[in-house]
Amino acid sequence: MSDKAPPERFDQGMATRRAVLGDAHVDRAEANKTAFDEPFQTLITEAAWGHVWSRPDWTKRERSIVTIALLAALGHHEEVAMHVRATANTGATPEDLREAMLHVAVYAGVPAANTAIRIIKNTLAKMDDASRKDSE
């Protein structure tokens, strides 16, 4: 038996990954992929994006909020910023993120939430600046 998921799982995962993170992000990840990390890239495309993020029971907005809260609680700061940028595609709002960080503060600790809030504020400000420049 193969340990590889069916090709449709990869294809669905890649479509979902692109819908959430955007083509530019995924294109960069694909361009930077090497023989060393190709199995990892395939794993996250099939498992995270093709299986979990593609399930129908939650919206991308809901998954985005939960993902950001979990990443904040675990201290994965770069991933927090990446997923905050993805809210432009998932529909999670700054108010959603604020509420999620209150949960992080209570259930995972104030320092984790405090750091994540700083990252979220920074990321949202950069997104606003980029949006303003695009509309000029």
What long-range pairs does 66-70 form, CB within 8 A, spacing at least 24? Answer: 66/100, 68/92, 68/97, 68/100, 68/116, 68/120, 69/100, 69/101, 69/103, 69/104
Delimiting residues of CATH 1.20.1290.10 domain(s) in the chain: 58-136
In the prediction, which pLDDT does 11 show? 96
Contact present, 64 and 20 (Cβ < 8 Å): yes
58-70 mean pLDDT: 98
Residues of the chain with pLDDT > 90, as a percent, come to: 90
Q: Classify the phi-psi angles of 22: left when phi > 0, otherwise alpha if psi is within -120 to 50, otherwise beta.
A: left
Burial class for 89, CB neighbours closer than 10 Å (0-12, 13-18, 19+): middle
Q: Which CATH architecture has domain 58-136?
A: Up-down Bundle (1.20)
**pLDDT, tens digit, for every residue of 3-54?**
666 789 999 999 999 999 999 999 999 999 999 999 999 999 999 999 999 9
Quick check: 1 pLDDT over 60? no
In the prediction, which pLDDT does 134 show? 83
In the prediction, which pLDDT does 24 show? 96
87-114 mean pLDDT: 98
In the prediction, which pLDDT does 3 show? 60
Contact present, 91 and 61 (Cβ < 8 Å): yes
DSSP 8-class letter at 47: I
In whole angstroms, what is the distance from residue 118 CA to residue 115 CA?
A: 5
In the prediction, which pLDDT does 4 show? 66
